[in-house]
Amino acid sequence: MIKRQVVAFLLIFSFCTTTYAQIKEKQSLISIINAIEEQHRVRFSYANSTINDLKCLAPSNNLSLKDKLSYIETQTQVEFKILDKRYISIKPIRKKKSQPSIQLLDEIIVSNYLTQSVLKDSNGNIIIKPEKFNILPGLTEPDILQTIQAVPGVLSANETISNINVRGGTHDQNLILWDGIKIYQSGHFFGLISAFSTYLTNRVVLSKNGTSASHGESVSSTIDIELDRTLNDSISTGAGLNLIYFDAFTKLPLNKKLELQLTARRSMTDFIETPTYNQYFKRVFQDTDINNSSRNNRTIATNEAFYFYDLGGKLLYDISNKDKIRFNFLNTFNTLNYTESDENANTTSTLNSGIEQQNLVTGLSYNREWSNAFKTNFQLYLSNYRLDAINFDVINDQRLIQKNEVLDTGIKFQTNYKLGEALNWISGYQFFEVGITNLEDVNNPVFRSNIKRVLRNHSAYTEIKWHSKNKNSYLRAGLRGNYIPKFNTFLTEPRLSFNQRFLDYFKVEVLAEIKSQTTSQIIDRQNDFLGVEKRRWVLADNTQNPIIKSKQASIGIHYNKNKLLISAEGYFKQVNGITTRNQGFQNQFQFVNAIGRYDVKGIDFLINKQFKNTTTWLSYSFSNNNYTFNALNNGNRFPNSLNINHAITFANTYSINNFKFALGINWHSGIPVTIPNERNPVVNNEINFELPNSRNLRDYLRADFSTTYSLKLNKSINSTIGLSVWNLLNQKNTINTYYLLNEDNSISKIDNNSLGITPNLSYKLRF
């Protein structure tokens, strides 16, 4: 198998190299602009000195006017401003001319995949640009992990951003990178808010398939959060607040070669209780000790304090036009403390319990431009995740301490060799060491377990990018090899992304990949870590927790003309090496350790129409997702716990003057659930369940609304006020159901419900 993969890669590389001769000469920008004026019946206004000496590759005639302008902006130091239907101004970009002269192959962008801030490139990636964030239903400000859920094939079965399911995968199967560093904690408020401020974010790249060979350690999607890479020539500052938190940022040029960027956010939840906070609290802590005031016919009084913060920054230093150093850091933190008081027989017992969750990441990179065709990048990084909980049981006089810690350190070296205007070659090496500790300590009865495992991984990769002379064909092919010394295991992972434009407005897209990961999350017991953050990170051990491996292929066809986009993509995905513990079963398999796989077949469909002030889109996803565990269910397949057969999103955004409005509806079929046998529910003091995941919850339905108003206070200060309403119709949705056996052998049914109607207000200032 390895030989076949290597041969296939070499054949692709050979094909691309032979087509290298198809190189397109650059043209003067003036001649390109003249051609655009004639074709689209527009006129450009500019100073001759702005464009006289500029040259670039001519955009394809098949592109729309907006796409052509965006394409030219990526190749030159100018930007366009559409004044009205006929006139467009051109002005130089106010950036330091210290950007690398080497450019990656320009990517063909499908403009406004959903809105002007959500695009699609020629690799099949979804690009999110927070700075251009328009508005989305339920959101008045950009939230990275909420925004990507608007993309077909991406949703959250339990409505949180700490449980994003891409084409049937669990959240830990997503690789989330913050400026190239892996993140192990993605949410605040235990999953309801992204842990990433967007102020310093240049763009977010979501890859559902055909991932770049430079990325490893995931069997599902890659979410790459890229920060600013170039210096600014002026100070930029902003601040804002909503009913949950307040935040601020600054981009501060210290001199011509040095810039400091900072962002900070802190919740107000520990000193102000707003309607939004109350709804969030009710959603997160339902059916936990924190929200359970009556146990064993005794009243337990609780008093809780909760808050979160994040602090991030980046230091940019241009040693010279060819040498650049970048240093970044991010610290995200959640804490919850609560006091339990038990009044019993004239005595009062008061104990403090709590949970803390923190992810600290930092990295240092050095970029060197050796020539106009060759550059290198070297990166050192560290990611440290820590989850600590202490839980006192007042009634049983028991204390439980739990800890989960991840220390991920590594280096990465990458070369970029531009072989011509049509061909680019990158290659690199990555080494990382991951150590994971899991601690559990009980005082009554006395029990202590402290397990630490360490894995090292050596990875080498190579990848080529090529496009045809007329930009109608695009290919990216790569190969990644991973060697894990502890297991003496070598894994090869080919990656492919190809698209071909035909009949002017159609494009066919083929994506494929093989990937693996050695880290995953499991659930030992549903009440671990106070029942709030149940999942803990573990490392593969090649016995109970094998290396997880995936293979995926898809083919799609896209039509784009006159601001109408129609997209359909069919895919197949198989993931091997999953365990019952990382699937979080709450049925007859809850305490069983077994290894298996899941297989998904599906279709993602999108239709998007843009009008003058309105954008409307409808997306539909179909998937059939099934488990196979040889040791369970007699080896027969049964539905995946995340199997959502049908999902539909309809949304509309409208802009008029300084107002923006968005309204959307989300519907999907209910997730599978296992219920007790109706005729014989209890056997041998255990719940007698039906066949696993043989029933489904009721369908999920939610409507969201948002609106913003922008106001320019003076020449240099802009402000925006926003209102959003999540679950506008206050629809009651059950997102999970499970069953417990009581001491009298009766069965309790537990329903976890989604957020009710949740309003939020926001106000932003930017200087």
Asked if residue 432 has pLDDT above 60, the reply is yes
Q: Are strands 659-668 and 638-639 parallel, antiparallel or unpaired?
A: unpaired
Phi first, then psi, for residue 607 (nearest 5°) are -130, 130
Question: Region 255-265: what's the mean pLDDT?
Answer: 95
The reported pLDDT for the residue numbered 289 is 65
Q: Is residue 119 part of a domain?
A: no
Among 46, 69, 93, the domain boundary falls at 93
Split at pLDDT 50, 70, 90, the class of 94 is low
Burial of 627 (0-12, 13-18, 19+ CB in 10 A): buried
pLDDT for 70: 81
Contact (CB, 8 A) for 363 and 325: no
More confident residue, 139 or 349: 139
In a domain, 147, yes or no: no
Instruction: Supply 129's token pair.
Output: 């640009």
Average pLDDT of the residues in 584-607: 95
CB contact at 8 A, 210 and 222? no
Q: Is residue 107 part of a domain?
A: no
Q: Quote the CA–CA distance of 254 and 565 in Å, as a whole number.
A: 44
For the whole model, what pTM was predicted?
0.86
Mean pLDDT of 749-760: 95
Q: What's the rounded Cα separation, in Å, for the pair 127 and 122?
A: 11
The answer to whether residue 235 scores a pLDDT higher than 50 is yes
- pLDDT at 376 > cutoff 80: yes
The yes-or-no verdict on residue 749 having pLDDT over 50 is: yes
Q: What is the pLDDT of residue 562?
A: 87
pLDDT at residue 3 above 60?
no
Question: Rounded to whole angstroms, how far apart are CA atoms 310 and 307?
Answer: 11
State the pLDDT at residue 343.
65
Tell which of 59, 93, 127 closes a domain.
93
What average pLDDT does the segment 296-319 reach? 82
Cα(385)–Cα(183) distance, integer angstroms: 8
Confidence of residue 332 (pLDDT cuts 50, 70, 90): very high
Instruction: Give domain status of residue 283, yes or no.
Output: yes
Mean pLDDT of 579-590: 94
pLDDT tens-place string over residues 596-634: 999 999 999 999 998 888 999 999 999 999 999 999 999
The pLDDT value given to residue 233: 84
At 689-741, the pLDDT tens digits run 999 999 999 999 999 999 999 998 888 899 999 999 999 999 999 999 999 99
Is it the case that residue 675 has pLDDT exceeding 70?
Answer: yes
User: At what angle are helices 65-75 and 29-40 packed, to 10 degrees?
Assistant: 170
Segment holding 532, helix H or strand E: none
Spatial CB neighbours of 272, under 8 Å, sequence gap ≥ 6: none
Q: Is 21 exposed, middle or buried (0-12, 13-18, 19+ CB in 10 A)?
A: exposed
Mean pLDDT, the chain, as a whole number?
A: 89
More confident residue, 65 or 565: 565
Say if residue 21's pLDDT is above 60: no
Q: How far are the Cα atoms of 106, 107, 510, 558 from residue 474, in angstroms, in the given order?
A: 10, 9, 11, 15
Lowest mean pLDDT among 88-102, 120-134, 505-519: 88-102
In a 13 Å sphere around the CA of 662, the CA atoms on its Cβ side amount to 27
CA distance 309 to 193: 11
Residue 20 has what DSSP assignment?
G
* Distance of alpha carbon 452 from alpha carbon 456, whole angstroms: 14
> What span, in angstroms and rounded, lies between the C-alpha atoms of 209 and 217?
14
Q: What is the pLDDT of residue 109?
A: 59
The pLDDT of residue 301 is: 53
Q: For residue 373, what are the domain limits?
A: 236-766
Inform me whether the pLDDT recorded for 100 exceeds 50: no
What is the average pLDDT across 297-320?
83
Give the span between the Cα atoms of 305 and 355, in whole angstroms. 11
Mean pLDDT for 269-277 is 91
Q: Specify the length of the chain in residues.
A: 767
Token pair listed for 246: 């307040």
Does residue 664 belong to any structural domain of this protein?
Answer: yes
Q: Is the pLDDT of residue 10 over 70?
A: no
Neighbours of 542 (CB within 10 A): 13
Find the angle CA(451)-CA(454)-CA(460) to the nearest 5 degrees: 160
- Pick the range with the lowest mean pLDDT from 330-334, 448-452, 527-531, 743-747: 527-531
Identify whether 708 is part of a domain: yes
Predicted local confidence at residue 594, as pLDDT:
96
Look at residue 55 and tell me if it is in a domain.
yes
The first and second tokens of residue 197, run together, are: 């401020």
C-alpha 725/C-alpha 722 separation (Å) is 10
Q: State the CATH number of the domain containing residue 11.
A: 3.55.50.30
Side chain identity, residue 537: W
Residue 650 has φ and ψ, to the nearest 5°, of -125, 130
167 and 602 in contact (C-beta within 8 Å)? Answer: yes
Residue 53 scores a pLDDT above 80: no
Q: What is the pLDDT of residues 335-365, one digit of tens each?
A: 999 887 766 655 566 788 899 999 999 999 9
- Average confidence (pLDDT) over 363-374: 96
Q: Is the pLDDT of residue 293 over 60?
A: no
**pLDDT on residue 527:** 86
What are 446-505's pLDDT values in tens digits?
999 999 999 999 999 999 999 988 888 999 999 999 999 999 999 999 999 999 999 989
User: Helix, strand, or coil here: 57?
Assistant: coil
Q: Is residue 273, in this structure, part of any structural domain at all? A: yes
Phi first, then psi: what are they for 290, rounded to 5°? Answer: -70, -25
Tokens standing for 295? 């146990």
Show the CA angle centred on residue 475, arms to residues 472 and 477, nearest 5°. 180
What pLDDT score was predicted for residue 266? 96
pLDDT of residue 104: 44
pLDDT category at 552 given cuts 50, 70, 90 is very high
Least confident residue range of 110-124, 168-182, 327-341, 419-433: 110-124
Please state whether the peptide bond connecting residue 445 to the residue before it is cis, i.e. omega within 30 degrees of 0. Answer: yes
The predicted pLDDT at position 107 comes to 53
Which has more confidence, 527 or 396? Answer: 527
Residue written as token pair 């894990």: 484
pLDDT at 573 over 80: yes
The residue out of 68, 93, 118 marking a domain boundary is 93
Task: State how many domains the chain has.
Answer: 2
SS3 state at 591: coil
Share of the chain above pLDDT 90, in %: 67
Q: What average pLDDT does this structure show over 503-527?
A: 94
For residue 349, the domain's CATH number is: 2.40.170.20
What mean pLDDT do residues 405-421 have? 96
